[in-house]
Chains A and B, each alone.
Chain A
């Protein structure tokens, strides 16, 4: 390709780089402020506010958050739920997507519509709650954190679109050689589908990692909680102390010993940290995966 060396092109390239660089900085700035705030002394944060650099650095917020057994329990629970849930979700959703993509299955369009329908409408909070608690009896079990999120209609349709674009000749030749549907799926289709599996897996992992709703709704007396719920509980407790302070008359419950402001940023950093660390491993699939959404028909 011959590079355009005209003045107009040069101006465009310069302005483009300035604009994109500024935009990138704009996107990165909140993360930077979050990290700085988490590492700032709490008193300085309360008096000076949030800034891009701290005058007095402190690890108190991280120490406060990471100390304590419940954080360790939360990490273990979240890792277990994320790994199990993500793998289970990929198995379940790939199976359903394969069925919807198989041309031999004549009812696939109707079934695809049923799947699509659940994206738009649902039964509401109360029926969902009753189904999970009374019908499926998931309360206070680890499956309460895994099963309700396992099948996402949107990702099923994305996977279906990818499977439909796989070369049919490979599948037909395997069928001629006597391969069953299970062999087709697990030996041929899935190995060819690493981009979509990596993308869907990453998004499902993020969803499982960040989920707090299932833990809040379906765990009553369990001695385990996902990390998101524990952090939410910690922040809520600190807010309770602040609220008590503002309510005039309730003793301040030793607020001065809790890094109330910086701990919020520290919890955010701790929550997103593992996900950020995962990104380099799936990065090469990410761009390719983002263009998978071209669902046809």
Chain B
């Protein structure tokens, strides 16, 4: 018998291990069926005459419009998206629009998206944003100017977006994309463990009081739940400055850049840039945070993560934190409880308004400027440009089309509930099911159905956020800083900001000391020069746009 060598033994072990793993991993239940092919449109076929041998014209091929899909916030698989695109195309063609839509999903959006423009690839529209490639593509002339096209072929889109928002998002008087919006602004607050609040008999936080009213809950957690963080705060984004953020929706940062140390506190009340440490609310917020830190209500060393955009929420969903600062209340009112109960079966989350917007204590500024767009490729045949606009116009022309776009094929990907809801079909893998989130869809979020099991508070909250009457609008929000002349100053203050702000952001230093240090470091980084240049720009803009400012409806 041949001797069993070590090499032979290794080979046999490798074979055996592979076979064992494959055998053990045979799925117990059948693999989920791929998304079904769409049912044929339910329409009686038109009677057709027997064709003449030589007189029948060749069928006109539909114009193919390619949309480069976005990549964030939603799972995307080509085999899931394609059947829906086919259904959309079939509906369009039945309605007389000879267009076929197809989606191009990019696995590496960051790298491939600009290459598509460079190589002259055949696509007509794509998701893009001012914070992504839109400014550079626009300056290179790669994006199509849309006003004429939409005036002729896309009126329904403008109506759906609203003329006010459409006009507000032009660049130098020209539209370069469909602005996608939903709410006029967020309502920041706190998301906390409602089950623990009730367990310890603590009064719920009061929106009219603010973050000081959260303190009793945090103290109850500190005293009764060892190992649990009362309030999970982050070192960056300043959300540790909970009270300071009470009015963050009115503050204006230079070019949306928060790490500069200068703001316009409220565009409605004045258009002057100021240092943030000179603002009274800043001092009060910092003092409250310092108090929280001294009393061990926030982590001694704030949570940070290189891989998570919101590590505080990660801790909250793992049951390791009792409260977390929230930029918006929607999650706390609906989805957060489900996520929490995956680890803490009896846990319940709830959100509280810390702004006082919902009680009328304050009014925020409604944002007309949007941060997500559908842009159109300038280097494509005119016929396809028109077809692309006509596609979006068709999409905006009815709720049935919008439902198909957002949720997929009814009965397969979603189930309609009345009056304006949806739910997932049984047995469908939610990680692979077709969905389009509003911010990447090209369609305004208010047309998207709401989850059928969402509580009434969730629905009321979004009704509040999407209703114009709850927000003030100001023409000064149309001002956009020109970044080029201030690039150097911006880079310099950004580089200094995190270290300079750490003390007051985290509560680890007394306010007097942290504020003085912040001021010294930021001024040394060139903040006064940045402030002066920003002020010159806005003053010049105001002087040049007096007619617009006076005519603004608000």
Contact = CB atoms under 8 A, between A and B. Distances in A.
Interface of A: 43, 46-47, 59, 62-63, 66-70, 125-126, 129-130, 133-134, 212-213, 215-217, 220-221, 223, 229, 232-233, 236-238, 240-258, 273, 276-277, 279-281, 283-284
Contact of A252 (B10, B335, B432): B335
A237 B75 contact: yes
26 contacts: A63-B25, A70-B79, A125-B115, A133-B121, A216-B107, A216-B108, A216-B112, A221-B102, A232-B107, A238-B431, A240-B71, A240-B74, A240-B76, A241-B75, A243-B72, A243-B73, A245-B339, A246-B314, A249-B329, A250-B73, A250-B330, A256-B339, A257-B431, A258-B430, A281-B11, A284-B7
Contacts of A284: 7
Nearest to A215: B107
Nearest to A253: B430
A126 B335 CA distance: 43
Interface stretch (B283-291, B305-313, B357-365): B305-313
A244 to B, nearest CB: 5
A254 B426 CA distance: 12
B431 A254 contact: yes
A56 to B, nearest CB: 13
B319 A47 contact: yes
Contacts of B343: 43, 46-47
Nearest to A251: B335
B431 A253 contact: yes
B279 interface: no
Given A63-B28, A223-B78, A250-B330, 18 more contacts: A43-B342, A46-B318, A46-B343, A126-B119, A130-B118, A221-B78, A241-B75, A244-B74, A244-B437, A245-B331, A245-B339, A249-B330, A250-B331, A250-B437, A251-B451, A258-B431, A280-B7, A283-B7
Nearest to A281: B11
A229 B107 contact: yes
A35 B328 CA distance: 39
Contact of B330 (A46, A67, A248): A248
B338 interface: yes
A217 B107 CA distance: 8
Nearest to B33: A69
The 6 closest A-B pairs by CB, nearest first: A254-B430, A249-B330, A237-B75, A256-B342, A246-B310, A248-B331
Nearest to A134: B119
B275 to A, nearest CB: 30
B138 to A, nearest CB: 19
Interface in B332-346: 332, 334-336, 338-339, 341-343
A38 to B, nearest CB: 10
Interface in B278-325: 308-310, 313-314, 317-319
Given A133-B119, A280-B7, A59 B25 contact: yes
A67 B31 contact: yes
B130 interface: no
Find the residue from B75, B118, B429 having the highest chain A CB count within 10 A.
Answer: B75
Contacts, number: 167
A242 B319 CA distance: 16
Nearest to A255: B339
B34 interface: yes
Interface string B413-432: 00000000000100001111
Nearest to B461: A249
A248 B318 contact: no
B10 A217 contact: no
B50 interface: no
B324 to A, nearest CB: 9
Contacts of A255: 339, 342, 430
Contacts of B18: 273, 277
- The secondary structure that dominates the A interface is helix
Interface string B2-31: 000001001100110110011011011001
Given A245-B313, A280-B14, A257 B430 contact: yes
Find the residue from B25, B310, B424 having the highest chain A CB count within 10 A.
Answer: B25
B96 interface: no
B527 interface: no
A254 B118 CA distance: 39
Contacts of A257: 429-431
A272 B532 CA distance: 57
Contacts of A245: 313, 317, 331, 335, 339
B27 A66 contact: yes
A253 B73 CA distance: 10
B108 to A, nearest CB: 4
Contacts of B21: 62, 273
Contact of A63 (B27, B111, B121, B310): B27
A28 to B, nearest CB: 15
Contacts of A273: 18, 21
Nearest to B431: A258
Nearest to A277: B14
A145 to B, nearest CB: 13
A246 B331 CA distance: 9
Contacts of A62: 21, 24-25
B107 A126 contact: no
B14 A276 contact: yes
A66 to B, nearest CB: 5
A104 B308 CA distance: 61
Contacts of A242: 308
B399 to A, nearest CB: 20
A236 B104 CA distance: 16
Contacts of A66: 22, 25, 27
Nearest to A258: B431
Contact of A69 (B24, B31, B104, B330): B31
Nearest to A284: B7
Find the residue from B28, B119, B319 having the highest chain A CB count within 10 A.
Answer: B119
Nearest to B338: A252
B27 A67 contact: yes
A217 B115 contact: yes
B433 to A, nearest CB: 8
Interface string B70-86: 01111111110000000
A268 to B, nearest CB: 14
A103 B136 CA distance: 53
A234 B113 CA distance: 20
B111 A217 contact: yes
A248 to B, nearest CB: 4
A255 B341 CA distance: 11
A220 B119 contact: no
Nearest to A62: B25
Contacts of B28: 63
B327 interface: yes
